[in-house]
Amino acid sequence: MKALIKNILKITGYAFTVAIYLSFNTLLASSKKPKPNVIFVFSDDQRFNSLSMTGDAVTKTPNIDQLAKEGVFFNNAYITSPICGPSRANIFSGQWERKNKIGFNYVSKNLISEETYQNSWLAQLKKAGYSTAFIGKSHTKIADRKNTPLNKNTDFAYYGEGHLGFYPARKHKQFSNLKNKTQIEGLLEATKAYLTQDDSYDYFYKNALPSIQNQLQKRDPKKPFSAWINLNLPHASSIGGMGSQATDPEYYKTLYNDVKHQIELPEGYPQDISLPDNVYATKDLMKYYVTSNKNRLLNEKLKMDRAVYAIDLMMGNLRAFLKEIGEDKNTIIVFCSDNGLFLGEHGLGGKTILYDESVHVPLVVYSPLFDKKTKGKVIDELVVGQDIPATILDMCGIAVPKSYQGKSMLPLIEKNKTPWREEIFLENLFTDQGYPRQEGIRTKQYKYIRSFSKENDRSKYLPEQSIKTKEAPIYEELFDILKDPKEQNNLASIPKYKSELDYFRKKCSEKAEELLTSCD
């Protein structure tokens, strides 16, 4: 280096050489800048309006609200396949279900292929030199029935398949090494065990089942890390037993008892199911999704409020732990839900039907590197779950695979105006439990939904049928969201809206076909 500087001095003079030298050092320093860490927290069945900041009348979520104030909140974030397995598969693949064909049950042969897994954001980070963790609920098989690539290629693979329950070790023995017996607290404990570098969590590794010990490695402190934390709350299947054990945190037992009278029910409750019987009927509802019993529904909402509080507390404790271990200034945090949930709206419980209660979710993207102009930004553009993996990779400076149909949201975050999609395609391809196949288009003003006949759908998976056969729907809905945000007034049969209806019919077919063929 000294010889090089002397030679440049002879040719150019002192001032110019110093400038080159300083520029070179700046470039060298920037090239050594560490990659950001990533933590993605994915909750389950958490509605858009479940936060203090989005209007919940009871739940207090100061930590998620603060994360949004320091990060970016997406006001129009949607899950395009609003049910557990497909929603997660869409995150793994960066694709719509129409394309990846990974459905909710065995009929779809819902295995994420080896190639799809290797293109997943988690595997891409692993290839880029990251230490990676997959923690909590898994609802998709990876390549084979043993999830071989996930177990072998992830440094810390600590998960249970299907519903975890409120006390996960009761269903999944691999969680028996946790000191915390409740789900949210236990998964935070596991996350800390992965992140920590001291011996305070050695018991976790020592007491792990022998069958999973080889897939539980602490993060390498020389590498950036990425952790995907998958919760199974506030899902109704996991709130049973909440607060029944002496060891349960007190907030699971008594929190909000003094204000539970403020818990809100849908306007006009109880509502009749808004769909014709041949589309979806009361008899089709699963027992734990029936909402006609007022006391039961209020109790369920109270438990869900407590679960959301616990999730919020976890987010606060997670950030405090990152600060404790010195990783808070370089860790991106993404928070989202896998879908929304009906709690009596439209006479429904559960999800899957394409109304906003089911598809609209809270989404926060936070980075300690955001500048003052970015912090607290609220973005109204239409984004989807498939945009999350592309965004994470982009924020880490890693190329987004060409197979992704989702787009990086980083341009929305960094710029005031940037070209973006004007509509999103929604779909339900899960046809068991009485659900109809549905397709829809959501813009900022309108929602169009079409439902297909259930007569020949049972035990079938038909992601291409409506396009290949030009199948006619048996029922259509059109809502003006700006005038009718609760989607109560179907405009599809009103002559005044025929041009809008025709437009969305065409657009829905075009988007479905485009998603089937794009990225080939």
Q: Which of 269, 362, 337 is nearest to 52 (CA)?
A: 362
Q: What stretches of 192-235 adopt beta strand conformation (E)?
A: 225-230
- To the nearest whole percent, how much of the chain has pLDDT over 90? 85
For residue 180, CA distances in Å to 185, 198, 364 come to 6, 19, 27
pLDDT at 9: 44
Q: What is the mean pLDDT of residues 433-445?
A: 95
For residue 358, CA distances in Å to 92, 97, 341, 362 come to 20, 16, 5, 12
pLDDT at 231: 98
The type of residue at 428 is: N
Q: Which of 213, 138, 203 is nearest to 171 (CA)?
A: 138
Q: Which two tokens stand for residue 488?
A: 């109560």
Residue 32 confidence class, pLDDT cut points 50, 70, 90: low
pLDDT at 28 over 80: no
Residue 416 confidence class, pLDDT cut points 50, 70, 90: confident
pLDDT at 3: 52
pLDDT at 317: 98
The type of residue at 486 is: K
Model-level pTM?
0.93
In angstroms, the CA 316 to CA 304 distance is 18
In angstroms, the CA 160 to CA 309 distance is 23
pLDDT at 210 over 60: yes
Q: What residues pair up with 136 in beta bridges, in sequence order?
A: 159, 230
> What residue spans in the chain does CATH classification 3.30.1120.10 cover?
424-517
Q: Which of 72, 69, 75 is nearest to 381 (CA)?
A: 75
Q: Which of 48-62, 268-282, 305-319, 347-361 shows the lowest mean pLDDT across its residues?
A: 268-282
Q: Cβ neighbours of residue 513 under 8 Å, at least 6 residues apart? A: 467
pLDDT at 10: 53
Q: What is the mean pLDDT of residues 482-489?
A: 97
Other CB atoms within 10 A of residue 464 CB: 14
pLDDT at 243 over 60: yes
pLDDT at 155 over 90: yes
pLDDT at 108: 73
Cβ–Cβ under 8 Å, residues 213 and 176: no
Residue 24 confidence class, pLDDT cut points 50, 70, 90: very low
Q: Is the peptide bond before 270 cis (omega within 30 degrees of 0)?
A: yes
Read off the pLDDT of residues 68-104 as tens digits, 9 standing for 90 and up.
999 999 999 999 999 999 999 999 999 999 999 999 8
Q: What is the mean pLDDT of residues 232-258?
A: 96
Read off the pLDDT of residues 345-370 as tens digits, 9 standing for 90 and up.
999 999 999 999 999 999 999 999 99
Please state the φ and ψ torsions of residue 492, each to the nearest 5 degrees. Answer: -60, -30
Cβ–Cβ under 8 Å, residues 312 and 346: no
Q: Integer distance in angstroms from the first to the last C-alpha of the chain? A: 49
pLDDT at 289: 78
Q: Which two tokens stand for residue 143?
A: 């390549």
Q: Which two tokens stand for residue 49?
A: 């309006």
Secondary structure letter of residue 236 according to DSSP: G
Element (H, E) at 228: strand 225-230
Q: Which two tokens stand for residue 470?
A: 């030009």
Domain 424-517 fold: Arylsulfatase, C-terminal domain (3.30.1120)
CATH assignment of 37-414, among 3.40.50.720, 3.30.360.10, 3.40.50.2300, 3.40.720.10 = 3.40.720.10
Q: What is the mean pLDDT of residues 377-386?
A: 98
Element (H, E) at 428: strand 424-428
As a whole number, the mean pLDDT across the chain is: 92
> What residue spans in the chain does CATH classification 3.40.720.10 cover?
37-414
In angstroms, the CA 153 to CA 184 distance is 25
Higher model confidence: residue 285 or residue 497? 497
> How far is Cα of residue 192 from the mean position of the Cα atoms in its chain?
21
pLDDT at 1 over 60: no
Read off the pLDDT of residues 101-153 as tens digits, 9 standing for 90 and up.
999 877 777 789 999 999 999 999 999 999 999 999 998 999 998 999 999 99
Secondary structure letter of residue 512 according to DSSP: H
Read off the pLDDT of residues 452-484 as tens digits, 9 standing for 90 and up.
999 888 889 999 999 999 999 999 999 999 999
Residue 139: exposure state from Cβ atoms within 10 A (0-12, 13-18, ≥19): buried
Q: Which of 349, 164, 162, 292 is nearest to 240 (CA)?
A: 164
